[in-house]
Structure 1
Amino acid sequence: MRLGYFSMPLHPLGRTWQDTLREDREAVILADQLGFHDAFIGEHLTDRHENITNSLVFLATLIHDTSSIRLGTGTTNLSQQHPVLVAANSAMFDHLSDGRFILGVSPGALASDAEALGLLDEDRPAIFAEAVDVITAIWEGEAPYDIRSPGGRFHVSTARTMDEKLGVGFIGKPLQQPRPEIVGTVVAPFSKGVVAMGSKDFHPLSANFLLPQWVATHWPKYVEGKESVGASADVADWRVARTVFVADTHEQAVEYAKSSSDSPYRFYYQQMLTKMRKLGRLNLFKADQAADDDSITIDTLLDELVIAGTAEEVAEQVVAFHDEVGPFGELVYAGLDWVDPTLARRSMELMATEVMPAVDKATADREVAGAAS
């Protein structure tokens, strides 16, 4: 199983923007040194706690400070940029990074971003769907282009101005052919969007704040999408994010991940709880949809959604989660604010050097036992 990294990121107030950006860079550099397969970085324009406004710009600063980790937007919010810009800038990034680029995409969920851009009353999922088709068509096609999105929102052409001798009218193609990997974050249980991902050969990344029973609904939907176009789904293409903290002692893990008032995990899930309550989406946190909203508390979220303990304890919890949701190709470690840099770094180190080898051994042993029975 691969190990990946994902960060929104989410920082408490009181820290300087420069300081948090430096920390976020250090986390990806450490992930590279530890052998993480990829790193996805989120973006928002109008959230005081989320400090990265353009994930592609941020990731560009990491190209020459990392060596092997793949760099993914997590996500590029497609309702907020013209698809020509996304296609051209992503292609350039792919060349700059020697083909280490992953295009993570979503419509863009933050309402205040949409309002600031004059998009609050627009159908952002529809914009997203049309933009994706345009981006892939640009990468697949040739100038002078005549690309019209299915809903008619976008028309891309350079026919009137193309000059082949001058080299004008061409949009650059990415280094990876036929295109870079495209990944979509999946949040909703029984997501229809993940069906579309399967039909387009995009790869799903299940969000870290979903209960295991909702994560488990994503894979059948992806298989459905693959089968709709006569293709087979490969579990290696499914990424699942989890919120994890690993420490040298059980007591230290519980304190930092759950009980301390300064816990970055408590801060993160308090933010998520408040946002989802405001959006009317507390159902994401309910195993029983009939449960009262007041039953969802910060402590219940921490107990249900944070995997914490020693390396041995975390490996056992990851294996149990794997058994519940089914096989997947990559466990994506959710990066949070480094309230204590020493503990945060140590957690990533233990995750890479002790937890994942133990998880791989346990799952391999079970496969062997299952084949023999």
Structure 2
Amino acid sequence: MRLGYFTMPLHPLHRNPTETLQEDREAIILADKLGFHDAFVGEHLTDQAENVTNSLLFLATLIPVTTRIKLASGTSNLSHSHPTLLAAHAAMFDHLAKGRFIFGISPGALASDAEALGILDQDRNRLFAEAIDVILAIWEKNAPYDIDLPDNRFKVTTAGTCAFEIGRGIMPKPYQRPYPEIVGTVVAPFSKGVVAMGRRDFHPMSANFLLAHWLRSHWDNYAEGKRSVGVEPDVADWRIARTIFVADDDATARSYGKRDANSPYRYYYKQMLTKMKMSNRHVIFKKHRDEDDSAVTLDRLVDELVIAGTVDEVVDQILALRETAGDFGEIVYAGMDMVDKTLANRSMELMATQVMPRVNAAIGGR
């Protein structure tokens, strides 16, 4: 099982964005030193708490200060830009990173982003599907492209202005051929989008704020999609993100990870609960679809969704998660606001150097 890193990020509103952006960079630099496989960074345009507005721009600052870790948009919101822009920018990033790039994609779920862009009344899932088809077509075709796909609003050509002798009208192709690994974050239980991912060989990452009993539905749908095109699914392709805090002692794990009023984990799930209720997507926090809203409390979310404890306790909880969800290829550690940098960095260190070796030893032993 690989170890990855994911940050939305999500910071208290009073914090200085200059400081939090640097902290988010430092966390990924540390992840690189500790041997994390990849680092996904989210993006939003209109969220003061989640203040990375362009994941590729943020990640570009990490190329020269990291050596091994793959840098992943987590995600690029495809409804926000013309696919020609996204195809060109992602291809350039892949060259800058010399292949240390994963293209994480999503429609863009934040309603205030859509309102600011003037697309609130549009079907962002359809925009997403049309955009990725055009991005892949750009990467697969040669100039002048002449992309005019059925029922797709985006038409791309440079036929009228191409000048091959001087390179005009030609867009870059990615460093990785035919293109980088493509990963989609999955939030909804029984998501049909995961079936489509399987058909197209995109790889799913199950969100860290989804209750564990819903996770197996993601694998079942992904496997259905793979088998529908005659390919056997590989568990190495499936990532599960989880909210994890590892401490040297039980008291610190309980307070910083769950119970203290200043816990970044409590803040995170207070924000997420509020946001999901506002968008009527809080079914992800329920034990069954018809469960009463009153059962979804902050304390329950923290207890259910935060894996916190000493090294041995976290190992046991990850192995229990694997029993519930089934086998998967990567556990993705969710980054929080650094209320206490020492504890935050120590948790990542323990996760990489002690928890994961024991998890993999236990899996191998089974």
- What corresponds to 2:111 in structure 1? 111
In 2, the alpha carbon distance for the partners of 1:15 and 1:209 equals 23
In 2, the alpha carbon distance for the partners of 1:149 and 1:265 equals 45
TM-score for the superposition, normalised by structure 2: 0.99
TM-score for the superposition, normalised by structure 1: 0.97
1:8 equivalenced with 2:43 (yes/no)? no
The DSSP-based 3-state class of the residue aligned with 1:274 is helix
1:219 equivalenced with 2:245 (yes/no)? no
- What corresponds to 1:205 in structure 2? 205
CA deviation digits over 1:153-200, x for unaligned, max 9? 100101111111111110100110111000000011111000111111
Checking the alignment, whether the CA contact within 8 Å between 1:45 and 1:113 is kept in structure 2 is yes
Quick one: which amino acid aligns to residue 113 of structure 1? Answer: D
Checking the alignment, whether the CA contact within 8 Å between 1:71 and 1:100 is kept in structure 2 is yes
- What corresponds to 2:331 in structure 1? 331
CA deviation digits over 1:56-76, x for unaligned, max 9? 000000000000000000000
- What corresponds to 1:287 in structure 2? 287
In 2, the alpha carbon distance for the partners of 1:16 and 1:149 equals 45
Percent identity between the two aligned chains: 64
CA deviation digits over 1:17-76, x for unaligned, max 9? 100000000000000000000000000000010110000000000000000000000000
- What corresponds to 1:91 in structure 2? 91
- What corresponds to 1:353 in structure 2? 353
- What corresponds to 1:20 in structure 2? 20
How far apart are residue 151 of structure 1 and its match? 2.1
Checking the alignment, whether the CA contact within 8 Å between 1:107 and 1:124 is kept in structure 2 is yes
Checking the alignment, whether the CA contact within 8 Å between 1:131 and 1:149 is kept in structure 2 is no
- What corresponds to 1:318 in structure 2? 318
Structure 2: runs of 5 or more not aligned = none
Alignment of 1:83-232 (within 5 A): 83-232=83-232
Quick one: which amino acid aligns to residue 331 of structure 2? Answer: L
Checking the alignment, whether the CA contact within 8 Å between 1:75 and 1:106 is kept in structure 2 is yes
In 1, the alpha carbon distance for the partners of 2:173 and 2:70 equals 18
Checking the alignment, whether the CA contact within 8 Å between 1:205 and 1:239 is kept in structure 2 is yes
Alignment of 1:238-249 (within 5 A): 238-249=238-249
Checking the alignment, whether the CA contact within 8 Å between 1:130 and 1:150 is kept in structure 2 is no
In 2, the alpha carbon distance for the partners of 1:116 and 1:148 equals 28
CA deviation digits over 1:123-173, x for unaligned, max 9? 100000010011111111111111124422100101111111111110100
How far apart are residue 338 of structure 1 and its match? 0.4
Deviates more, 1:161-170 or 1:338-347: 161-170
Quick one: which amino acid aligns to residue 162 of structure 1? Answer: C
- What corresponds to 1:369 in structure 2? none
In 2, the alpha carbon distance for the partners of 1:151 and 1:334 equals 38
- What corresponds to 1:37 in structure 2? 37
How far apart are residue 365 of structure 1 and its match? 1.1
How far apart are residue 291 of structure 1 and its match? 1.7
Quick one: which amino acid aligns to residue 142 of structure 2? Answer: E
| Pairwise CA RMSD | 0.7
Number of residues of Structure 1 aligned to a counterpart in Structure 2: 366
The DSSP-based 3-state class of the residue aligned with 1:146 is coil
Structure 1: runs of 5 or more not aligned = 367-373
In 2, the alpha carbon distance for the partners of 1:181 and 1:24 equals 23
Checking the alignment, whether the CA contact within 8 Å between 1:43 and 1:54 is kept in structure 2 is yes
How far apart are residue 231 of structure 1 and its match? 1.5
In 2, the alpha carbon distance for the partners of 1:289 and 1:178 equals 41
Quick one: which amino acid aligns to residue 7 of structure 1? Answer: T
In 1, the alpha carbon distance for the partners of 2:267 and 2:120 equals 28
